[in-house]
Structure 1
Amino acid sequence: MKSLEERSGECRVQSAEAWAGEEMQSIHQSPSLRISPPSEEPPPSFLRQGSPFLISPPPNRNRCTGGWMKKNKKQHLVISATSSQREKDPKKRVVITGMGLVSVFGNDVDTYYERLLSGESGISLIDRFDASKFPTRFAGQIRGFTAQGYIDGKNDRRLDDCLRYSLVAGKKALEHAGLAAGTSLSNKIDKERSGVLVGTGMGGLTVFSDGVQALIEKGYRKITPFFIPYAITNMGSALLAIELGLMGPNYSISTACATSNYCFYAAANHIRRGEADLMIAGGSEAAIIPIGLGGFVACRALSQRNDDPQTASRPWDKDRDGFVMGEGAGVLVMESLEHAMKRGAPIIAEYLGGAVNCDAYHMTDPRADGLGVSSCIQSSLEDAGVSPEEVNYINAHATSTLAGDLAEVNAIKKVFKDTSSIKINATKSMIGHCLGASGGLEAIATIKAITTGWLHPSINQFNPEPSVEFDTVANQKQRHEVNVAISNSFGFGGHNSVVVFSGIQVGERWFGKMREILHIQGGQCGNQIGAKFWEVICEEHGIDQTGKYKYSGGGGGGDGDSQGEGEGEGEGFHLERINVYYNEASGGRYVPRAVLMDLEPGTMDSLRSGPYGQIFRPDNFVFGQSGAGNNWAKGHYTEGAELIDSVLDVVRKEAENCDCLQGFQVCHSLGGGTGSGMGTLLISKIREEYPDRMMMTFSVFPSPKVSDTVVEPYNATLSVHQLVENADECMVLDNEALYDICFRTLKLATPTFLFWFYVQKQLKLSFEILPTIVLLVKTLVPWIPNNVKSSVCDIPPKGLKMASTFIGNSTSIQEMFRRVSEQFTAMFRRKAFLHWYTGEGMDEMEFTEAESNMNDLVAEYQQYQDATAEDEYEQEEEEEGEQDV
């Protein structure tokens, strides 16, 4: 076996300077390399639409925030030296397709995780029996459990709770996997190649206790004939197999509190070895009875904080005094990727690998140096084919015991030399220690963290141990894009286990990661553009003016030619990515994930009365009564500032409802008052509150050829000053260029409502927005002085035989900035109309800073335009030298 030092030497951190030109593109395209954080979901439809007016800010102004990666010499890429070793054979790749549980927070996976995210404690005083004489009188006791619909009445009365929990969690996991018992789907799997491996640490403890009591009080004749079958640990797996007819590998594992992870590891290996296509795996425990509580009290393992049970489980806290008992079951449906895709299963995440070993040290105490655990973690990463640098989330064992917590911390530090990017949390702080079921319940929490982008808190973090130097997600949930996660479980006897999960990528498609975008439109211009955007995107997705899908029920309910002639392949694409922009509501309706704002009510009234006005949530319209009067300062400092909290409340509500929010797109004009002033205020507030989400803007730049508002250069320059600081990407719509196209090219004498949808129709261009373009465009345009990428789309828009799109990134955009800057300077030098702004509380210095920022932007573009390949090489060499120093 390799030493820890030898293993860690296999991984390297490469800097972006080591890759240039075609090599940089190969990093983006290579399936065996991962850039952290990943961003495989497509950019918004606007980005894929063909417009010659596209701007990416220069490289040193960019952010990489889980949105679209842009080449940045300062950005470091974490490249795994072992990622190429990951399993690629679909028969051997193991995926998670279903999850089921029984917990103190209920029997629904989503409800369970929502309550974890809220930081709720499930610990309370025991009322199942009289615990008043015990030194510990509280636990994570399940109340109100019902097995109705999953276990028949007779067996429900007979079965030990450990078996009841196993059956309910197992059947719920199958339902989640689309394999509910009795359905046609369940008859399509090969039952001889489908197995069950659900373990328990202590087995049917209630039936055992009752049997012993019957023997002592009434003699052996009063022992139930179900005593032995219900007490043995393998009966949970057996009963599931008997009820479902599953004849594949079937047994149980009992390794104390590491049981569930041992089951996952063994089940995955059955699939990898080709012995099974599908395995139901996990753990169950029901030990909160007098003998169970008394046994752990005798071990001196439990907290005795009876006066405040909800704060008793406090992993890593200096004042922890033992763990808190819990109970429940956590079960996963694990399949080979090939089998899951063949049956069209809902793929949730991927099991990358795992490991098990033994401390060989003591019955109940862990090794203080954590050597057994660190070796187990390292072996699990090797089995998964990932490097320590790729792991950025750990669901810790973290029981709240004096020795155990620090031993795990020491082990983590041995494997992960740099824990600055790793988040570590403790599920047991809220649900207690569920013993043999803990790994199952924590695996579900780990997978939900991957799929939602939210980490639940570790509560009761009052006085942390100094040696715990990493982020424990203390007391408040956190947004965190999980790349690779591990879940640790350790048990009495020195049994160690670690399992490794991630989202799953098959070709260009990511499963288990929903990438939602929140659309915001502000001001008159922004709302007009937004209204047209929703009209077009509803047409693409087959959504009618009431929010209903047109093609449901065989195509009824909508016009037949709304998306080309064919319904076959195109119909599949309609709803494939609908969750990027829509929320699914009751009654089969789809509601735009949109916030609509203005400082005067007229625009909102116009939108409501428009063709798609009824599709939006009524409470997502936010408006004032006064307007901004084309004054940036009113929108940013006075009128807009009074309304901004109301807008942010709606933004927060929509963001909270997302499973995995990728970011925000904002449509606004930079020439008026609301879109420019209030729009940039909102962008800055969102950036402050959601620093790791992308921010994309679609910004209309003003022109005197289109508008007679003389202060537009002020508004635009002040807005650019804000956008440079707070936006990741700006799509620029230059009204002057659009005017020239309409006036000179189209010969329109009086062009009025100018934006790209109108121009597209007039020019008969096929640059409609198509979400499916992501299937063809694999990389964004790299930063060079002049570049365009184009692609042909799979599904043409209505009335067209073919559609294409292109993305441009050109230094010629500086001409527009230069024009606006010159107009700004001409007015500012004369102090023209300055009192309009200073009268709203603005400082004249802000104008000076905005002007300087705009000029710097122009100069930077000019620098890249003038740069030669030799200059680029010399600059990179110089930066590499500085970095080495």
Structure 2
Amino acid sequence: MTQSVVVQVGQCGNQVGCRFWDLALREHAHVNKKGLYDEALSSFFRNVDSRGSDRGAGGTIQHLKARAVLVDMEEGVVNQLLQGPQRELFDSMQLLTDVSGSGNNWAVGHLTYGSVYREQLVEQLRRAAEHCDCLQCFFIIHSMGGGTGSGLGTRVLGLLEEEFPEVCRIVTAIYPSAEDDVVTSPYNSVLAMRELAEHADCVLPVDNQSLLDIVSRITLMAQGSKPGPVIRSDRTLISGLGGDAGVEKPFDAMNNIVANLLLNMTSSARFEGSLNTDLNEIAMNLVPFPRLHYLVPSMMPLYALADVSVPSRRLDQMFSDAFSRDHQLVRADPRHSLYLACALMVRGHVQLSDLRRNIQRLKPSLSFVWWNQEGWKTGLCSVPPVHQSHSLLALANSTGLKPTFMELRERFCRLFRRKAHVHHYLQVEGMEQSVFLEAEASLHSLIEEYHQLDTTKMADAPRLNIAT
């Protein structure tokens, strides 16, 4: 079985990663009753015995180490992790921290810390890769609004392309909401997007506003459930209770949703199934043009993230929900989207015939680009999430992201027209005003490519021709 490495950068990246490792361990423990180190565990964990050497699959679990690299220019989150239940999952060779942070400044993270820690980053990434027998993918988790996540996170992404050009790079990028309290977040996001366009194979954009909306809906679901709901004993609920600290912290509920996204996306890499999907097949099948590699994630059923037992919705409804705005982790309008491709990754007790039947049922209501009418990628993992009979993760490459990116560009331009806060960036060695202009031009070009695709929905529109 192949292995993947998770690279967590910045406060947000490490908090989401923390929840992913917690939930992954719970899931494997639920399936692996005998406590044996098997191929499923080897996909994201190493087995280290008491003498400090690695053991292959088939032995009893001695000591698991996560296949991860943790980076943050503030020590707080990583120190909390090392003091919590997950402290044995990581050692000092997997960690890189500083004390002063990036001051919500992309240039400090990307240029200053990226240069200072370049060799250490490369060494840690190489070490993580060398522990893999068959390295398939790097998962990078970071935010777009802060300085370390956006700046150093995208610097790490560039280093991965330099050092491991043949290994797939899948990014989970957390975008700030329009009401974000970091005034420079539009700058950081747009500057980071230029790097994502150049160095990522696939990007899963997740925005804070969508996460907040989902948290509100799940809370209402829990409060509106029938009398006598069953509280789950392991407390793996949306609030994050039962996680590292045992008490609810800000953003725990939102981080838990993103962690579940990663959990479902990697299920085929961790467990057997009748129609497993390799992680590198996602980029291969869903990204027809290099720059248009943003995939809208949707998760079903949402009620499963709450800590109450509610009646299961019909299987067919789960597939319909996949194309509902309420289930998307980023704001995009599926009703007015042109689909380039779509993946449906199903877990649990679902038959292949159910999967095919629902695709045929949904096809007439979805607008697919004319040259890829059969652009569906399907996966079927036999192991369902804990406490669920089935689940569905949809990853859609569509033009529905264009309004979201247009709004981000407008917030960037409103600041940059007044040159507000620009001097903080220009004080960083290597940063010039032209970098802002190039980043804005890159985002504008991306929006134009989506717009050209949208015009193909018109009967008299010329065929699109985008050079690769």
Q: TM-score range by the shorter chain?
A: 0.5 to 0.7
Please point out which of 758, 763, 776 is paired with 2:256. 758
Q: Please, which runs of 5 or more residues in structure 1 have no aligned partner? A: 1-513, 554-573
Report the Cα distance in structure 1 between the residues aligned to 2:449 and 2:101, rounded to whole angstroms.
36
Structure 2 residue 210 is matched with structure 1 residue 737: yes
Structure 2 residue 51 is matched with structure 1 residue 578: no
Question: How many angstroms does 1:799 deviate by?
Answer: 2.0
Amino acid at match of 1:753: F
The answer for the alignment partner of 1:776 in structure 2 is 275
Please point out which of 768, 775, 789 is paired with 2:344. 789
Q: Is the 8 A contact 2:7 2:138 kept in 1?
A: yes
Report the Cα distance in structure 1 between the residues aligned to 2:272 and 2:286, rounded to whole angstroms.
18
Question: How many angstroms does 1:733 deviate by?
Answer: 0.9
Question: How many angstroms does 1:800 deviate by?
Answer: 2.1
Please point out which of 859, 862, 865 is paired with 2:451. 862
Please point out which of 395, 413, 418 is paired with 1:825. 413
Question: How many angstroms does 1:539 deviate by?
Answer: 1.7
For normalisation by structure 2, the TM-score amounts to 0.65
Structure 2 residue 200 is matched with structure 1 residue 727: yes
The verdict on how the C-alpha distance between 1:850 and 1:620 changes in structure 2, with shifts beyond 3 A counting, is: same
The verdict on how the C-alpha distance between 1:859 and 1:678 changes in structure 2, with shifts beyond 3 A counting, is: same
Q: Is the 8 A contact 1:541 1:578 kept in 2?
A: yes
Please point out which of 62, 87, 92 is paired with 1:613. 87
The answer for the alignment partner of 1:19 in structure 2 is none
Please point out which of 704, 708, 714 is paired with 2:187. 714
Question: How many angstroms does 1:688 deviate by?
Answer: 1.3
Q: What is the identity percentage for the equivalent residue pairs of Structure 1 and Structure 2?
A: 31
Structure 2 residue 355 is matched with structure 1 residue 800: no
Report the Cα distance in structure 2 between the residues aligned to 1:829 and 1:843, rounded to whole angstroms.
16
Question: How many angstroms does 1:615 deviate by?
Answer: 1.3
Please point out which of 439, 450, 465 is paired with 1:850. 439
Question: How many angstroms does 1:869 deviate by?
Answer: 9.0
Amino acid at match of 2:439: A
The answer for the alignment partner of 1:552 in structure 2 is 35
Question: Residue 520 of structure 1: SS of its match in structure 2?
Answer: strand
Corresponding residue pairs, total? 337
The answer for the alignment partner of 1:669 in structure 2 is 143
The verdict on how the C-alpha distance between 1:788 and 1:726 changes in structure 2, with shifts beyond 3 A counting, is: closer
The verdict on how the C-alpha distance between 1:602 and 1:783 changes in structure 2, with shifts beyond 3 A counting, is: closer
Report the Cα distance in structure 1 between the residues aligned to 2:345 and 2:126, rounded to whole angstroms.
36
The verdict on how the C-alpha distance between 1:792 and 1:620 changes in structure 2, with shifts beyond 3 A counting, is: closer
Map 1:441-840 → 2, pairs under 5 A? 514-542=1-29, 551-552=34-35, 575-587=38-50, 588-705=62-179, 707-743=180-216, 746=219, 752-753=250-251, 758-759=256-257, 770=267, 771-772=270-271, 775-776=274-275, 778=277, 780=282, 782=286, 785-786=338-339, 787=342, 789-793=344-348, 794-840=382-428
Map 1:183-194 → 2, pairs under 5 A? none
The verdict on how the C-alpha distance between 1:755 and 1:723 changes in structure 2, with shifts beyond 3 A counting, is: farther
Report the Cα distance in structure 2 between the residues aligned to 1:676 and 1:760, rounded to whole angstroms.
17
Question: How many angstroms does 1:815 deviate by?
Answer: 2.2
Report the Cα distance in structure 2 between the residues aligned to 1:743 and 1:525, rounded to whole angstroms.
20
Q: Is the 8 A contact 2:66 2:90 kept in 1?
A: yes
Question: How many angstroms does 1:531 deviate by?
Answer: 0.4
Report the Cα distance in structure 2 between the residues aligned to 1:741 and 1:820, rounded to whole angstroms.
21
Amino acid at match of 1:724: A
Question: Residue 46 of structure 2: SS of its match in structure 1?
Answer: strand
Q: How large is the Cα RMSD of the aligned pairs?
A: 3.3
Question: How many angstroms does 1:789 deviate by?
Answer: 2.5
Amino acid at match of 1:834: V
Question: Residue 428 of structure 2: SS of its match in structure 1?
Answer: coil
Report the Cα distance in structure 2 between the residues aligned to 1:775 and 1:698, rounded to whole angstroms.
27
Report the Cα distance in structure 2 between the residues aligned to 1:731 and 1:755, rounded to whole angstroms.
19
Larger of the two Rg values belongs to structure: 1
Q: Is the 8 A contact 1:627 1:674 kept in 2?
A: yes
Amino acid at match of 2:400: S
Report the Cα distance in structure 2 between the residues aligned to 1:642 and 1:871, rounded to whole angstroms.
54
Question: How many angstroms does 1:616 deviate by?
Answer: 1.3
Report the Cα distance in structure 2 between the residues aligned to 1:743 and 1:802, rounded to whole angstroms.
23
Question: How many angstroms does 1:790 deviate by?
Answer: 4.8
Question: How many angstroms does 1:643 deviate by?
Answer: 2.2
The verdict on how the C-alpha distance between 1:783 and 1:630 changes in structure 2, with shifts beyond 3 A counting, is: closer
Amino acid at match of 1:725: E
Report the Cα distance in structure 1 between the residues aligned to 2:401 and 2:73, rounded to whole angstroms.
31
Question: Residue 856 of structure 1: SS of its match in structure 2?
Answer: helix
The verdict on how the C-alpha distance between 1:769 and 1:709 changes in structure 2, with shifts beyond 3 A counting, is: same
Question: Residue 518 of structure 1: SS of its match in structure 2?
Answer: strand
Report the Cα distance in structure 2 between the residues aligned to 1:543 and 1:590, rounded to whole angstroms.
16
The verdict on how the C-alpha distance between 1:583 and 1:615 changes in structure 2, with shifts beyond 3 A counting, is: same
Report the Cα distance in structure 1 between the residues aligned to 2:102 and 2:394, rounded to whole angstroms.
36
The verdict on how the C-alpha distance between 1:635 and 1:783 changes in structure 2, with shifts beyond 3 A counting, is: closer
The verdict on how the C-alpha distance between 1:539 and 1:606 changes in structure 2, with shifts beyond 3 A counting, is: same
Amino acid at match of 1:772: F
Amino acid at match of 2:14: N
Q: Is the 8 A contact 2:109 2:148 kept in 1?
A: yes
Report the Cα distance in structure 2 between the residues aligned to 1:761 and 1:855, rounded to whole angstroms.
31
Q: Please, which runs of 5 or more residues in structure 2 have no aligned partner? A: 51-61, 222-238, 240-248, 289-337, 349-381
* Structure whose residues are more often helix by fraction: 2
